[in-house]
Chains A and B, each alone.
Chain A
């Protein structure tokens, strides 16, 4: 396949990225079906690592779960060898889904259609009626089981997160993530996590509008007014954004000075600016955090290119996976975490602070809608561009959140993969 041929023929009509570079993003990249198909092939099935599971989701040999590389279904298993394997959830025979359930436990992966049976590493073990019935039919003598396994992914792990990739070109996961963002992942996932629950949000927007939102450190106190309305945080809180070389991954963070007397709830408001002087929460106790990471960082929002988010907001920890479901539809899968050694009080704190995030989250529900608002607004404006100049034109780390540098970083990583 010639890259050049596909590049000129793939996107119709061909367009040139604006000369301002990543400070302009043409709206057509959020609408165009051809661009979307190219993303599925070049990003999601291409040289990127994508989050598949938590190691703890598959404790025993025989455990499996299903997931996606973009829109392509995959199976993740714990094999009899104790290793984690991943493969496409598509029978090598006629393309049927092999695993129908989201998770389970099994000795082997057997397709329901014609009972082709694979081991937990995806290698074909048997084919029903391979030798025919009563001397008639059956597979040709030259049919070799080892040539017809489930298509296997490369699998790698980082801090208890399991990733997969179909491409041989994807660098090793730790190299791909890098030390800067890797350290920030380890900062949060520093011990064995425990799942507290999951949820899913259907967003009526292109997947990249949600990724932009995650990387956009500028909007937080403007779109989400909960903290400022109820005088719970300072707009001036110390913070910044770390951006990986290449721009694809980021971690934004906020640091608050520790309250010397956190039990005194009346002190929560001292010295905090406010937009509406009169509003107070009747029961702010759910926001009382326990310092658990030892660095006064109250919020850290992290992304790994292309579609993983790791969130720490106070004691609320969650992994969010952004799954494309069409040019204008996205599924956001949330997995809320605690740690295996949390005591009851810490679990209760995490559950209470989960009110901040998710589909009903005090500081996140707007994120579910704003992408859809953009998707509606840009209809008919595919030739126009967004303006992403806050903080300049580059995509380097900064000690302020009043910047869109990490948004530009995403596009910097996106463009060469897409040939745009």
Chain B
């Protein structure tokens, strides 16, 4: 493997680490910046995905829609205080074309509510397309595939 490829792998791994640190650290205002302006972001179940059903539980076709999601969580939506802890593993570059990369990764999210036991809120995988623009990697498309179709109570914080 040439050095450029190794370097890209490290950069992408670092991006995922920063991405989940943002979500888990309640720095949601920073979350849209991980995406390109015309990004597609979708959370759905593996079941919908495998049946080729297009539904998204959260579905955005622009970075501005992600900003609106954060604004709504901050200003409009009502949900109990909660914290995620993302565990991301097995990051794979399934297509590596230098400035454009397709990556997959496994994730599990432990959710902690203020007065309840910790639970494994979600597990699944990311199917992502990334682009390097102005020296920084951004998600052009992020597909969050949940292993279960069941969501406990509600899904507020993005994944």
Q: Do A and B bind each other?
A: yes
Residues of chain A having any CB pair with chain B under 8 Å: 195-204, 223, 225-226, 229-230, 276, 279, 281-284, 286, 331, 336, 347, 351-352, 354-355, 358-360, 362, 365-366, 368-369, 372
In the complex, are the beta carbons of A362 and B150 less than 8 A apart?
Answer: no
| In-complex Cβ contact of A197 among B44, B61, B67 (8 A) | B44
B43 is an interface residue with CB less than 8 A from chain A: yes
Query: Which of B45, B48, B154 neighbours the largest number of chain A CB atoms within 10 Å of its CB?
Result: B154
- Are A362 and B76 also in contact (CB < 8 A) when A197-B54, A283-B65, A355-B58 are? yes
Q: Which residues of A contact B156 (CB under 8 A)?
A: 360, 365
Q: Which residues of A contact B120 (CB under 8 A)?
A: none
In the complex, are the beta carbons of B77 and A366 less than 8 A apart?
Answer: yes
Number of interface residues of B (CB under 8 A): 35
In the complex, are the beta carbons of A198 and B48 less than 8 A apart?
Answer: yes
| In-complex Cβ contact of B80 among A197, A283, A358, A369 (8 A) | A369
Q: Which residues of A contact B77 (CB under 8 A)?
A: 225-226, 362, 365-366
Contacts A/B (CB < 8 Å), 10 sampled: A196-B54, A197-B53, A201-B153, A281-B64, A281-B68, A282-B68, A283-B65, A359-B153, A360-B151, A362-B72
In the complex, are the beta carbons of A286 and B65 less than 8 A apart?
Answer: yes
In the complex, are the beta carbons of B71 and A360 less than 8 A apart?
Answer: no
In the complex, are the beta carbons of B65 and A199 less than 8 A apart?
Answer: no
Tell me the total A-B contact number using a CB cutoff of 8 A.
Answer: 121
B78 is an interface residue with CB less than 8 A from chain A: yes
Q: Which residues of B contact A352 (CB under 8 A)?
A: 59, 61
User: How far, in angstroms, from A284 to B60 measured CA to CA in the complex?
Assistant: 11
Q: Which residues of B contact A226 (CB under 8 A)?
A: 72, 76-77
Q: Which residues of B contact A347 (CB under 8 A)?
A: 54
User: How far, in angstroms, from A157 to B61 measured CA to CA in the complex?
Assistant: 37
User: How far, in angstroms, from A196 to B57 measured CA to CA in the complex?
Assistant: 11
In the complex, are the beta carbons of B57 and A359 less than 8 A apart?
Answer: yes
Q: Which residues of A contact B75 (CB under 8 A)?
A: 229, 276, 279
Beta-carbon nearest neighbor of A205 in chain B: B153
- Are A366 and B78 also in contact (CB < 8 A) when A282-B67, A331-B150, A360-B154 are? yes
In the complex, are the beta carbons of A372 and B56 less than 8 A apart?
Answer: no
Would you give the shortest CB distance from A77 to chain B, in whole angstroms?
A: 19
User: How far, in angstroms, from A401 to B79 measured CA to CA in the complex?
Assistant: 25
Q: Which residues of B contact A195 (CB under 8 A)?
A: 53
User: How far, in angstroms, from A151 to B62 measured CA to CA in the complex?
Assistant: 51
In the complex, are the beta carbons of A369 and B78 less than 8 A apart?
Answer: yes
In the complex, are the beta carbons of B56 and A283 less than 8 A apart?
Answer: no
B11 is an interface residue with CB less than 8 A from chain A: no
The 8 closest A-B pairs by CB, nearest first: A197-B55, A283-B64, A282-B64, A368-B154, A359-B151, A360-B155, A197-B53, A229-B76
